[in-house]
Amino acid sequence: MTRAEKLRAGLLSIAELSGWNRLLVAAGFGALTAMSFAPLRLLPMLAIGLSGLTILLHGSLSKKKPLCSAFWTGSAFGTLYFAAGMFWLANAFLVQADAFAWLIPIVLPLFFFGLGLFFALSGLGSVWAVRRFGLSGLPALVPLILLLAVTEWLRGHILTGLPWNLYAQGTAGWGVLLQPLAAFGPYAYGLVLVALSLVPAAIVLNPSRTRRTATLGAAGLGAIILFGGLRLTLLAPELRDDTQIVVVQPSVPQRDKLDAQKRVEGLRRTLDMTEAAAARLEDGKAIFAIWPENAYPFIARIPELSGALSDRLPAQSYVVTGSIRATEDGGFANTFHMFGPSDGGAPLAATYDKHRLVPFGETLPFYSVFEALGIEALSPVGDGGFTPGTGPARIDGVPAPFAPLICYEDVFPGTLYPKGERPEWLVVVTNDAWFGDAAGPMQHLDIARMRAIETGLPIARSANTGISAVIDSEGRVLDTIPLYTPGTITSALPVARPPTLYTRAGDLIFWAMVSFIVLMVWRTGPQVAIEKVNHTASGER
């Protein structure tokens, strides 16, 4: 037996596992898959993990209860996939540890298990399809490829949606590999990546077609690299000559934001940093100073602020930031504020209310239920949380119209600005201090890079404790400030590119690909079944 044959035999032995051993191995593959995301960004782990899941599901076909085996195999994989990729959520409960730390062992396991059900459904559905249509060989992998992609889309849309750590995000460590997002968007590109990731499993399960399968996989990867390389070469970084930006990262610890005196000190430091940075820029050009989300609560109520901005910043300066505001109906909103221009007295020129609120962070779903249980204190403010805005916005009347995004809102592809009102750039204000010095802020930065490529728009991103950055339309980070490091970025605004294919077609590309795969399964399945029936009938004669 050759070394390759021994390796294949060892991998196939995994498929025969049952009980807790099977679940532990499935969970291990889920954790390995999560290593493709920040901070490690080990893209090969995407292929190793998903191929491992595929081999385990192949083994489910021979189990006494194949659908049950497939469901729990997928569930174990998915639960650890999300736990290993989003463990940093625990930090949010530790900011006020006395009040909320006890929830960590209750809420997070349930949360990760719930998300893991998407993989459970993928496993169950793929095994059902293989059995139902009598699929074998390479066609037997098609249902799993399809379902892994479709359930990812569903995860991004069901209820509030959570499109975090999508498969395409695993390519963030390789700028060349991110570029197909401009054409396909994250879900269709995710479908392509899943198909390529299952090549090792296809070789293990179908050794007679090793050369053909490996050739197809190499050709697919080569096409992606070629496309990405050409795009980055042809679209070199370009900067505008009429608009300048100052990105401020004050790096105020989240606990300090709960102290009134330290909040004031943080605001003063932010203004000092802005003034010093703006002084380094050219005169006579518009300046956008970008402060993070929640730089100071109810910031529009500070009577001295407008005068301070006007006195200390150059003419034609605009200051944008996020802050809580009181709404007309007595509630509260997480609001984007724009002050300026400074030579006009720095009045409050525009506001935008965040419309995608973080569940359990900014809004409390099923508030009446929690109130009945006596734990309505989980609500961040008011009765059930912030009041959501009416939808995305574009801020006009400035030298470079932009779309404001507050924290979590840049997570959702294709919904960053009003339809038909494409801006010239995106402004992201966020406060990732809740998530500590862990993977969360790094993953959030990778998401911003994805949005830049998908839209063909540059992004200026201010994060309280990091990671602040200026990102061009190809997802290149032109400048950045490390985590928990106070600092500023001064730069000319990168240029916007023409609308991308994904901007024009959206997820229609994804559903066209899904429809093609469904058609392929539908055409192949019945034909295989008919051939089996005919073969059986001829044998009986």
Residues known to be catalytic: 293, 354, 407
- Cβ atoms within 10 A of the Cβ of 448, count? 23
Contact 461/470 with Cβ under 8 angstroms? Answer: yes
CA angle at residue 243 from 237 to 249, to 5 degrees? 80
Give the separation between CA 478 and CA 461, rounded to whole angstroms: 12
Contact 450/170 with Cβ under 8 angstroms? Answer: no
If DSSP states are collapsed to H, E and C, what string results for 384-402? CECCCCCCCCCECCCCCCE
User: Which tokens hold the place of 384?
Assistant: 């059930």
C-alpha R_g of the chain: 26
Q: Which residues of 421-435 are buried (b: 16+ CB within 10 A; e: fewer)?
A: ebbbbbbbbbbbbbb
Contact 231/179 with Cβ under 8 angstroms? Answer: yes
Looking at the DSSP bridge assignments, the partners of residue 72 are none
Contact 291/505 with Cβ under 8 angstroms? Answer: no
For residue 477, what is the enclosing H or E element? strand 477-481
Chain centroid offset of residue 332 CA: 27
Give the separation between CA 174 and CA 197, rounded to whole angstroms: 16
Give the separation between CA 179 and CA 225, rounded to whole angstroms: 9
Give the separation between CA 311 and CA 183, rounded to whole angstroms: 46
How far does the chain reach from its first CA to its final CA, in angstroms?
40
Contact 298/326 with Cβ under 8 angstroms? Answer: yes
Instruction: Look at residues 358, 44, 353 and name the one whose alpha carbon lies nearest to residue 197.
Output: 44
Q: SS3 for 429?
A: strand
Place of tokens 């070199």: 236
- Cβ atoms within 10 A of the Cβ of 289, count? 31
Give the separation between CA 243 and CA 457, rounded to whole angstroms: 15
Contact 281/239 with Cβ under 8 angstroms? Answer: no
Q: SS3 for 463?
A: strand
